[in-house]
Structure 1
Amino acid sequence: MSSTNFKETPHIKPNGAEIAETILLPGDPLRAKFIAETYLEDVIQFNEVRGMLGYTGTYKGKRISVMGTGMGTPSMSIYSWELIHVFGVKNLIRIGSAGSLQDDLNLYDIVFAMGASTDSNYGHQFNVPGHYSITASYELLERAKKVADEQGQKVRVGNVLSSDVFYNADPTAIQKWSEMGILCAEMESAGLYLNAAHAGVNALCILTISDHIFKEEKTTQEERQTAFTKMMEIALELA
C-alpha cells in the first residue's frame, strides 16, 4: 500500500490519510461518495479540494480508494498523474458512463475499453515518432473479464472513442467513428491510459452505457450516480 506521508498537490490534499495502490475513478464525485458509502468499510475521506471527493476504505478486507476525476482528458490527466507520481498509485480503474455508437449496445450494457481511439492531442507531449496505440493494461483487463464471467455479467470488450468534444460542430464525425467499429464514446480513457503507460502502471476503463447517440435514449443524472452498480462491483473485485 502507498502512504501519503502528508504529501499534497494543488488538487489532492489528504492530510496524511492513506491513498491505496488501487483506486476507482468515476468522473462524478458523487458517484465516488455513493461507492464509499455503499461498498466500503472503515472509510476515511482523503480529499475534498474543488469538490472532488476521495475516500479510502476496505472491500472484502482489501484496501481500496475511490475518487472523482471530473470530465475530459485534461481533468483526468491531472488527477491520474498526481495519483501515480505523488501518491504511488499502481492500479487505476476508471468507472464511467458512455454513449453507445452501435445498434446492439444498449442502456446499462457494460464495456471494457481494450483500446481508446481519440481526437485529443494530449499524447503529443511524449514525442513518440509515430502513432501510439492507446490500450488498457492487459493484466487488469484479463482479471476484469474473469470477474465479470464469474459474476455472470455480460460485457463487451473493444475499442472506444475518448473525445475532447461533447458538442461536435461536425454532425458526421460520430458516424465515422461508428463505422470503424467503435463501441461507444466517452472523454477520459485516453488520458488515463497514456499517463499509466508512460509511468509503467496499470489502467483500465470500465463503462456503463448511459445513452444511445443514434437512438436518442438516455438515463437520468441520478441513475448515473447510483444505478450503475454492476460495473462498480466488477471494479471493486480488482483491488
Structure 2
Amino acid sequence: MPTPHIAAKAGEIAETVLMPGDPYRAKWAAENFLDDAVLVNEVRGMLGFTGTYKGNRVTIHGSGMGMPSLSIYANELITEYGAKTLIRIGSCGAMQHHIKVRDVVIAMTATTLSTPSRGIFKELNFAPCADYGLLEAAVAAARTKDTGVHVGGIYSSDVFYDERPDLTEIMVRHGILGVEMEAAELYNLAARHGVRALGIMTVSDHLLTHEALPSTDRERSFGDMVEIALEAAFA
C-alpha cells in the first residue's frame, strides 16, 4: 500500500482528506481540531495525520507548495488510498478591494495559465470547478462564523514571485477574488477521478492594499477555515 511519497498502511488514510500546503499546518490542525490524531506519514517531511471530527474519520495531509506537488499527493491519496473528498485549506492573496485580510474565500472555479494536467487536455480549455455539494455546505458553515466570506473564481498561479502586473490587472477587472497555487489542479484531478473537491482559503495578504496578516495572528484566523472545511465535509 505505501506509495513513493506516502508511507501510510492500508486503512490509515480516511476517505475525507484536508490538504494544507504546509505540513506543519497539517500538524497544527490535527492537534487542534481532531480527536485521537495519529501520524500516518512523514516521508520527505510531508506530514499526514488521521483522527476523528465529531466521530467522523478525517486525514489532514500536507500537499506542498504549487500544483505539481499537490498533484503527486492528491493522485496517490485518490488512486492508492481511496480518498473521496479532498478539501484544500490554505492561504491566498486578495485581488478585490471589498475583500479584507482574514476573510475566507471559497473557490467556485479556478483560473490558471498552466497545470500539470495541461498535457492531457492539449488544446482543450477545461474549466475546473468545485463540487457543488461541498461548496454549498461550506458557504452555510462560513455564514455561522464571525468572518467575511466570499464565493467565486480564484486564480491558481504556477509562480510565487510573479512579474506579470498586466495579468493581475486583467484578473482584478474580471472579478477574480484571490490568488493561490494549488486549487486548479486539485479540481482537475477530482473531475478526472470522480471525487469531490473544494478549495477554502484564508486571506493572508492583499495584492491591492499590500496589507498582510502578521504571522502571530495566522493560526487564529486559519481556525475558521479548518472548521468550515470539516463542517462542509460531513454536512
Q: 1:85 is matched by which residue type in structure 2?
A: T
Inter-partner Cα distance in structure 2 for 1:128 and 1:61: 43
> What is the Cα deviation at residue 16 of structure 1?
4.5
Pairwise mapping of residues 84-233 of structure 1 onto structure 2 (< 5 A)? 84-127=78-121, 130-151=124-145, 153-225=147-219, 227-233=221-227
> What do the CA deviations read for 1:3-27 (whole angstroms, capped 9, x no partner)?
xxxx111110014461110011011
> What is the Cα deviation at residue 151 of structure 1?
4.3
Inter-partner Cα distance in structure 2 for 1:214 and 1:56: 38
> What is the Cα deviation at residue 99 of structure 1?
0.3
Between the two proteins, what is the percent identity of the paired residues?
48
Q: 1:224 to 1:167 in 2, by over 3 A?
A: same
Give the length in aligned residue pairs: 233
> What do the CA deviations read for 1:102-129 (whole angstroms, capped 9, x no partner)?
1111100001000000011423233366
Inter-partner Cα distance in structure 1 for 2:21 and 2:215: 13
Matched, 1:61 2:63: no
Q: Give the TM-score taking structure 1 as reference length.
A: 0.92
> What is the Cα deviation at residue 169 of structure 1?
2.5
Inter-partner Cα distance in structure 2 for 1:52 and 1:128: 31
CA RMSD of aligned residues (A): 1.6
Task: For structure 1, list consecutive stretches of 5 or more residues without a partner in the other structure.
Answer: 1-6
State which of 14, 21, 25 in structure 1 corresponds to 2:8.
Answer: 14
Q: Is the contact made by 2:103 and 2:147 (CA closer than 8 Å) also made in structure 1? A: no
Q: Give the TM-score taking structure 2 as reference length.
A: 0.93
- Find the residue that maps to 1:217 and give its secondary structure: coil
> What is the Cα deviation at residue 44 of structure 1?
1.1
